[in-house]
Structure 1
Amino acid sequence: MFYKAKYIILEDEVLKDYFMEVEDGVIKSFSKNEPDEYEDLGEIIAPGLVDTHIHGYHGEDIMNAKPGALNIISKGLLETGVTSFLPTTLTDSTERLNEACRVVGEEYKDAEGAKIRGVFLEGPFFTEKYKGAQNDKYMSDPDIEKLKKWKDLSDGLVNKIAIAPEREGVTDFIKKANAMGVYVALGHSDASYDVAIDAVDAGANIFVHTYNGMSGLHHRNPGMVGAAMNSEAISELICDGHHVNPVSANILMNVKGRDHIALITDCMAAGGMAEGDYKLGEYDVIVKDGTARLKEDGNLAGSILKLKDAVKNVVDWDIADVFEAIQMASLIPAKSVGIDDVCGKLKIGYDADFIVLNEDLELKATYIDGNKAWE
C-alpha cells in the first residue's frame, strides 16, 4: 500500500509530495515516483506520538490494576495521536505497585490500540515538599530490590523510574537501575542544583514535568529547574497552558534546545472524559475548565491533556515550528527511554505507526501497522 501527503515528517527532514510504501505493517520505502495506486491522505503524515508519562485515559487508571483497563487506555489514546506509550504509576504502597506492574505485564501484549513500550514508575522515592498529587506516606529512600521486583512483575517492561535526588543512596541506585536498563528521571524534589547535577552525573537523564514539582530557579539558588536547564538531560514539559506559562516553556526550549525537550501529558483517568469528580490514586480530583485539581488543596493533579493538543499548542504559541513540535512529541521522548529503535520516527523497517494532520494540525487519522485505527 502507498500513502501520499503534501508533507511527510521524518526524523531529520521533511519530504514534500512523496509516497510512503507500507508492506505487512512495516514502512518499506519513500519515493517521488507515483505508483499505480495510492491513497492521498492530505496535508501531513507524521510519526505516531509517544507519551512516556501518562497515568490513565477514558476513566481508567494504571494504579487501579483493573483487568482490561490497559486496553481501554490503549484504544482511547488513538484519538490523541499516540501510538506508543509508557503506562505510568504513582507513589503508592509496595503491594499496590506490585499489582499494577503485574497486570501491565500480563496484559500489554493484548493491547489493541497504542503500543505499550515500557512502564514508568513515577515514585515512590520522592520527598514531601513538592509532592504534588503524590502521597507522601508511601515515600522512602530508593530501594533497588523493589525496582528489580517491579521489573520482574511487569515482564521486564519497567524502563523508567522517577526519584528525588536528595534521598539517601541515590548515586548507587541510579547506577544499578541503569545497569538493569531502567532510565532514571528526577522530580517531586526540593534538591539543590548541586545535588541534582550529581544525580545527572551518576546517570539520571530526564527531569520530570520540568518546573512542576521541583525547587525553582532563583538567582542565588538555581535549584532543580536550574539543573534541568544547565544539563544535557531531557526535560519533560506539560504544554497544556495551565502547568507552565508558554513564556517559561519557550525559555526552557531556547536554553536546552528543542532536541532536549519531551512533550508529555501526565494525563490522568479523566482524559477524554467529561468534567466532574475523579480519583487519582487515593485522592479526590475535580476536573473543570481544562484542569484536574486535588479537592483538598486545589493543586494540579496531573492533566487531561491530549498529546496532539500539546503539539498544536507549542506551534500556536509560536515557540516551535511544526517539525520541532512533532519531534518533541515523538522522537525525543522515545530517545529519552531508549525506545527510538522501535518507535518515534518514520523510517524504513519501522512499524507503520503514523498520524495524519491537516494544515491546522488537527488530527484526522491514526494508523497502527499501516492500518487506519482511528479517524
Structure 2
Amino acid sequence: MIIKAKNIVLSDQMIEDGAIMIKGDKIEKIYKKGDHIQANEEVKDYGQATISPGFVDTHIHGFSGCDIMDKSSQSVKVICKDILSIGVTSFLPTTLTASVDDLNEVVKIVGNCRDSYGAKIQGIFLEGPFFTDKYKGAQNNEYFSKPSIEKLKKWQELSGNLIKKIAIAPELEGAEDFIREARKIGVYVGLGHSDATFEEAKRSVDAGANIFVHTYNGMSGLHHRNPGMVGAALTLEDVFAEMICDGHHVHPAAANVVVKARGCDSVMLVSDCMMAGGMPPGQYKLGDFNVTMDGKTARLEAGNLAGSVLSMKEAVKNVISWGIASPLEAIHMATLVPAKSVGIDDVCGVIDEGRIADLVILDDKYEIIDVYLDGKRL
C-alpha cells in the first residue's frame, strides 16, 4: 500500500508531495516529489494532510477513566487501546508515589501487559517515590523516601526489565550515587518535584540525570540569585526538558522561554494526562487524591493542578498556534525528541525506510484523520 500527503515528517526535514510505501508492518520506501511510484500498488491520497510518526508520550498516567495505578491489567489494556484515538502509538505508562507494595504490584502488572494491543508500552516511568515535600504537587508525601537502588532493582526485576525512566529530587541524600547506579542498569533519570538549588540539580546532571520533569511545575523557580531547578532546566547541556503545553500548566510566553533557551531539539511535549483524559467533566481520582475535571483542567480539592487532560495532538497544535515552534519542530517535540530522551528512538518516533509503520495522519488544523499501527490503518 502507498499513502501520499502534502507533507511527510522525517527526522531531519519535512518533505512535500511525497509518499510512503508500506509492506506488512514496515515502511518499505519513501518517495520524494517527482519519484516514480509503482503503478500496481493501492494508493491512498491524503491530499493536504501531514504524515507524522505516531506520537510518543513518555509521561502519561491514564486515560478513558483508567489509571496505571489501578493495579488492574484491564486498566492498562484500556489505556493502550484508547490512546490510539489521540495519535499515541508508543508510551511510557507512568506511576505515582505509593507504597512499595503497591508499586511492586503495579510494575508487575504493566510488565505482564507489555504486549497488549494498542499503543506500545516502550517502558515504565516511575514518577516517585524519591521526592521532597515543598513541590509535592499531587504526589502522596506519606510514601516519600530516600533514593534506594535496591528498590529500583526490585521494580526492574518485577517488571521484567521494563523500567525505562525514574524521577527523583536532586537534593535528597544519596541522589547522585543513585543516579549513577540507575544509569548502569539502563534507567534514565529525570529531576522533579524538587526544591533543589541550581548547584544540586547540576550535580545530578553531572552524575547522569538527563530529563527535567514537567519544567516549571513542581520545582524551584528561577531567581536571579538562586537560579534553581528552572535555571538548570534552561541552561544545562545534554538534558531534555519536558513541558505540559496545555496553556494552564505553563503560560505560552514561559514555554517560549524554554524553547528559545534550549532549542526545540531538546524540549519534549508530554501530556501528564490522568484518568479523566478523554472523559466528560466530573469527579475522578489521581492515585489517592480526589480530582475535579472541568473539561479543561484537573485539580485537587485545594485547587492545585493534578496532572492534565491534555492530548499530544493538542500540545502540538498549541505550540504551533503560540508561534513558538514550526510544524516540523512541534511534531519532533512530540515524537523524535521524547523517544531520544529515553533511548527508544530506534523503535519509535521516526519515519524511515525499514522502520515500523506507526503513523498519524494530521489535517491542516492538526486534527487526526487516521492512525496506522504496524502498517495497518485503524
**TM-score, L = length of structure 2:** 0.97
**AA of the residue aligned to 1:48:** G
333-342 or 359-368: bigger deviation:
359-368
Alignment correspondent of 1:264: 270
2:280–2:295 contact (8 Å) kept in structure 1 = no
Tell me, which stretches of 5 or more residues in structure 2 are unaligned?
none
Structure 2 counterpart SS, 1:68: helix
Residues 1:319 and 2:324 aligned together: yes
Structure 2 counterpart SS, 1:27: strand
Q: Aligned-pair distance for 1:263?
A: 0.2
Q: Aligned-pair distance for 1:289?
A: 4.2
Distance in 1 between residues matched to 2:255 and 2:275, nearest whole Å: 25
Alignment correspondent of 1:57: 63
**TM-score, L = length of structure 1:** 0.98
Residues 1:249 and 2:255 aligned together: yes
Structure 1 counterpart SS, 2:293: strand
Residues 1:69 and 2:75 aligned together: yes
Alignment correspondent of 1:95: 101
Structure 2 counterpart SS, 1:359: coil
Q: Aligned-pair distance for 1:281?
A: 0.6
Structure 1 counterpart SS, 2:7: strand
Structure 2 counterpart SS, 1:7: strand
For residue 352 of structure 2, the aligned residue among 343, 347, 355 is 347
Provide runs of 4+ in structure 1 moved above 6 Å: none
Q: Aligned-pair distance for 1:116?
A: 0.5
**AA of the residue aligned to 2:94:** T
Alignment correspondent of 1:228: 233
**AA of the residue aligned to 1:16:** E
Alignment correspondent of 2:54: 48
Distance in 2 between residues matched to 1:287 and 1:355, nearest whole Å: 28
Q: Aligned-pair distance for 1:67?
A: 2.4
How many residues of Structure 1 are paired with residues of Structure 2 in the alignment? 371
1:55-101 Cα offsets, whole Å, 9 max, x none, are 00000000111121111001111111110000000001000000100
For residue 273 of structure 1, the aligned residue among 249, 254, 279 is 279
Q: Aligned-pair distance for 1:107?
A: 1.2
Residues 1:287 and 2:293 aligned together: yes
Alignment correspondent of 1:187: 192
TM alignment of 1:1-375, pairs within 5 A: 1-31=1-31, 32-36=35-39, 37-42=42-47, 43-109=49-115, 111-232=116-237, 233-295=239-301, 297-373=302-378
Distance in 1 between residues matched to 2:296 and 2:108, nearest whole Å: 32
2:93–2:124 contact (8 Å) kept in structure 1 = yes
Tell me, which stretches of 5 or more residues in structure 1 are unaligned?
none
1:276–1:288 contact (8 Å) kept in structure 2 = yes
- Tell me the C-alpha RMSD between the 2 structures: 0.8
1:257-311 Cα offsets, whole Å, 9 max, x none, are 110101000000000001000010100000014000001x110000000111000
1:70–1:108 contact (8 Å) kept in structure 2 = no
1:24-77 Cα offsets, whole Å, 9 max, x none, are 101111122223231112311010000000000000000111121111001111
1:122-158 Cα offsets, whole Å, 9 max, x none, are 0000000000000001001100011011111111110
**AA of the residue aligned to 1:2:** I
**AA of the residue aligned to 1:6:** K
Distance in 2 between residues matched to 1:336 and 1:134, nearest whole Å: 23
Distance in 2 between residues matched to 1:50 and 1:299, nearest whole Å: 27
Structure 2 counterpart SS, 1:132: coil
**AA of the residue aligned to 2:220:** S
**AA of the residue aligned to 1:34:** I
1:216–1:224 contact (8 Å) kept in structure 2 = yes
Distance in 2 between residues matched to 1:320 and 1:363, nearest whole Å: 19
